[in-house]
Amino acid sequence: MADQNQLKPPCKKRVRTRVTYTAIIEVVDANNKRNEEQSRQIVHPINPVDKAGFEKAFELVEIARLAKQDEIDREHQEEMQRYEEARREAALSLPEKILAFLIGR
């Protein structure tokens, strides 16, 4: 009977809740086909009971999306410049090509 009157030690385990959001910044082509190499996943903790936490999370995702879009736009612009340069070189006549080669253009 003495055993029943003894105080039980408090439980050392507790339950906690962790909520994260998962955002995927995808690079897609004109047909909505995902480019796996350029897409990336973002996992970031947020406070689920705080509206400001959600707003901050969406702000971070939007910043990441805009950065990726800038990178894609820059790559496209460089590709278009290379294309235009190749077109200009292809349009040169043979004497112009020889002259351009000798001048070092």
CA-to-CA distance for 19 and 21, rounded, in angstroms?
7
What local confidence, expressed as pLDDT, does residue 3 receive?
57
71, amino acid identity: E
pLDDT of 81 reads 92
3-state SS class at 36: coil
What are the Cα distances from residue 73, in Å, to 27, 66, 79, 87, 97? 11, 10, 10, 21, 31
The whole-number pLDDT of residue 78 equals 92
Task: Render pLDDT for 45-84 as a digit per residue (tens, 0 to 9).
Answer: 655 566 777 777 778 878 888 888 888 888 888 988 999 9
100: tokens are 């351009």
Distance of CA 80 to the CA centre of its chain: 23
pLDDT in tens, 4-55: 667 777 766 666 656 566 777 777 777 777 777 777 766 666 555 667 777 7
